[in-house]
Amino acid sequence: MYIKEMSREAMLSFLKEVDESFPVPLSHKQDLEDLTEKFVEKATICAKIENNEICSMVIGYTNNVVNDMAYISVVATRQEYQGRGMAVRLVREFSEIAFSEGLTAVHLYSDSRNEVAIRIYEKVGFERYVVSNELRPKDVHLILRLNNSWEEQ
């Protein structure tokens, strides 16, 4: 479900818990408190919450975008909730928000070793995309073109 507001404490706690599940932990790229602040202030957040606990979350940007493309920064699910399709539903929900805001695509990067995540993105309809002068050549760049038929996938 799309979340308009989320407490910093809840998001930070979630990010700390899922941090080591990424091939390169988020905390190795940026301070988690700074990242949380940025997400709470500027991001579009879709989350599945059960019993007042964040189970899964998609965090990205649908405003201040480049080339009319939304960007997904984080897709994460607590270990005990994995395999229930939460991430797929939340990525689709995020994409619907981007589409409703008139954006033409959603893009993201995934570590090439994160085969489970890449399968999730491809299930939603993302395709691998080659970018010239890629800044992250070891990552897989994926893009979902938003048009009238993308939701049928």
Structural domain of 103: 2-152
Does the pTM exceed 0.75? yes
Q: What is the pLDDT of residue 27?
A: 95
**pLDDT over 60 at 149, yes or no:** no
Residue 66's domain is classified under what CATH number?
Answer: 3.40.630.30
pLDDT (mean) for 114-137: 84
Q: Looking up tokens 């940007």, which residue turns up?
A: 61
- Domain count across the chain: 1
Q: What is the mean pLDDT of the chain?
A: 89
- The string of pLDDT tens digits covering residues 16-55 is 999 999 988 999 999 999 999 999 999 999 999 998 899 9
- Determine contact, residues 30/69, Cβ cutoff 8 Å: no
Beta strands in 34-138 (DSSP E): 44-50, 53-66, 69-77, 105-111, 127-128
